[in-house]
Amino acid sequence: MKLLVTGGAGYVGSVVTAQLLEAGNEVVVLDDLSTGNADAVPAGARLVTGTLRDAAAGVLAGGGFDAVLHFAAMSLVGESMQKPGLYWDRNLGESLALLEAMRAAGVRRIVFSSTAATYGEPESTPILETDPTRPTNPYGASKLAIDTALAEYARLHGIGGISLRYFNVAGARLPEDGDAPGQGERHAVETHLIPNVLKVALGEKDKVTVFGEDYPTPDGTCVRDYIHVVDLGMAHLLALDACRPGGHEIFNLGNGNGSSVREVIEVCREVTGHPIPAEVSPRRAGDPAVLVASAEKIKSTLGWKPERDLRAMVADAWAFIQRRR
Ligand code: UDP
């Protein structure tokens, strides 16, 4: 297949691009490099630098595209609280430009990176796709709006969409042979737990801050559902095959089990062999106590199966960092 990957210079987009190439597809990456890195785009994909608004129509008009995988987005929850207009404009606005470009070019399938942040504070756990969506920040709200737009474009314009709602993505894709770094997390501003803990192991930070120890969880710290980026990527290949013009489906993507902040830090200590000092601070605003996916729908419908546990995520993220150094 010939595929357009938006955001293919970013973390998840670059991993999925590598997997798509490995499966024999032709891939064009469209990325404005606002947060991505040109050298993260796997060899074999063609990189077009530009925004979706400026460049998607031109690229798709070139012809022959079978589908789009749409990763390009602003994805920092905290920043979205400071700059909601920017998140609405970039996430929803640019996605609408992409959908219109698809319509004009007759491209009728799209797999979209949605998020657990569309659900907000859950009423019950694990979270099902049919649960209420009440996002608590503009990041989640803008992604939910795109899910809604996809449903409308499916119903009214026959464009088939699959929204994959990611829980906490971690790990890296390491090439099987050789010691090239592969694809992994390289955020300029790092807010996520595992990369921040690994920075402490590397000596780039003195200690990790645990945001709150007074949650109603077994050890008092927040519980999240971590999923390996390679397992997550494989779900995109399955979704691509399952995507049918005229339909829109939503699937949660998590492992279905939770790990606390303390448990994550402990696994990082074991994997890296570094002590990793931790200090407790007050809760971070907007963090729900527990976010765990029910991944039963994607397992039973698409036959997806996660194969890598938290230890593998930390080990691969750690190997990626070492190789890049
Ligand atoms: N967290 C933490 N210290 C950090 C970063 C994150 O204690 O330096 C906690 C955060 O409060 C949340 C969990 O780790 O409970 C995962 O946070 P992350 O930002 O990685 O992902 P999120 O769940 O916000 O998408």
Pocket-testing residue among 210, 261, 265, 283, ligand 1, by greatest number of atoms within 8 A of Cβ: 261
Per-residue pLDDT at 255: 94
Give the residue numbers annotated as catalytic, written as ranges. 139
Atom 20 of ligand 1 has which residue's CA nearest to it? 192
Q: Does ligand 1 have an atom closer than 6 angstroms to the CB of 211?
A: yes
Q: Does ligand 1 have an atom closer than 6 angstroms to the CB of 136?
A: no
pLDDT by residue for the chain (325 residues), tens only, comes to 999 999 999 999 999 999 999 999 999 999 999 999 999 999 999 999 999 999 999 999 998 999 999 999 999 998 999 999 999 999 999 999 999 999 999 999 999 999 999 999 999 999 999 999 999 999 999 999 999 999 999 999 999 999 999 999 999 999 887 778 899 998 888 899 999 999 999 999 999 999 999 999 999 999 999 999 999 999 999 999 999 999 999 999 999 999 999 999 999 999 999 999 999 999 988 888 999 999 999 999 999 999 999 999 999 999 999 998 8
**Longest Cα separation, the chain:** 56
Q: How far is C-alpha 34 from the chain's CA centre? A: 17
Per-residue pLDDT at 50: 98
Element (H or E) spanning 228, and its range? strand 226-228
Q: Does ligand 1 have an atom closer than 6 angstroms to the CB of 83?
A: no
Atom 12 of ligand 1 has which residue's CA nearest to it? 222
Q: Does ligand 1 have an atom closer than 6 angstroms to the CB of 322?
A: no
CA dist., res. 73 & res. 10, Å (int): 9
With vertex at residue 140, the alpha carbon angle to CA 137 and CA 141, rounded to the nearest 5 degrees, is 80
Per-residue pLDDT at 106: 97
Distances (CA, A) of 122 to 133, 176, 256, 287: 9, 39, 15, 11
Query: Residue 316 C-alpha to ligand 1 middle, in angstroms?
Result: 19
**CB contact at 8 A, 299 and 132:** no
Per-residue pLDDT at 63: 86
